[in-house]
Amino acid sequence: MMAALLLLLSTGLFAQSYHVVVSPDIPADAAALLTQRVGQMLQAGGFSLADDGTPITVTGAVTDRMETPGSMSQVVLQIEIKASTGTSEGVFPLKGVGADEADAWLRAVKQFLPRSKAAQAFLEQLK
């Protein structure tokens, strides 16, 4: 029983905790989903989330934008999401197609997969 208690305490002491901070430039709905997805990625990697944890800054930039022709035109965005702690950085290219730019952002962020190869590579950097 004492060994189990020591194991529990030691993993709690050495577990890294993070706090996700999303850039205000990202539309609100997409930012909320991005916060959730990055949190899922961290938890899947064995990290915890805490308000006083190390901040992971998440930024996004549109690398290409176009509109489809026609009466029901769609906005197509190529987006590059970067997650950074200062010592580690992950880059996640995404594509979103929507009725307007905010919708395209949201659809792109929906493609952010917490268990993707890019996410796994970022988690390895954090360890």
The verdict on residue 83 lying in a domain is yes
Q: Tell me what pLDDT residue 1 has.
A: 56
The verdict on residue 7 lying in a domain is no
Of 124, 122, 127, the C-alpha closest to 57 is: 122
The verdict on residue 11 lying in a domain is no
Is the model's pLDDT at 71 over the cut of 50? yes
The verdict on residue 5 lying in a domain is no
Encode pLDDT of 88-125 as tens digits. 999 999 999 999 999 999 999 999 999 999 999 999 99
Q: Which residue has the tokens 């030691």?
A: 10
* Stretch 47-59: mean pLDDT: 95
Q: What is the CATH number of the domain that holds 97?
A: 3.30.160
Is the model's pLDDT at 64 over the cut of 70? yes
The verdict on residue 64 lying in a domain is yes
Q: Tell me what pLDDT residue 117 has.
A: 94
Is the model's pLDDT at 4 over the cut of 70? no
The verdict on residue 96 lying in a domain is yes
Task: Quote the domain boundaries for residue 88.
Answer: 16-126
Encode pLDDT of 9-47 as tens digits. 444 444 689 999 999 999 999 999 999 999 999 999 999
Is the model's pLDDT at 6 over the cut of 90? no
Q: How many domains would you assign to the chain?
A: 1
Amino acid symbol at 52: D
The verdict on residue 4 lying in a domain is no
Of 121, 48, 35, 109, the C-alpha closest to 79 is: 109
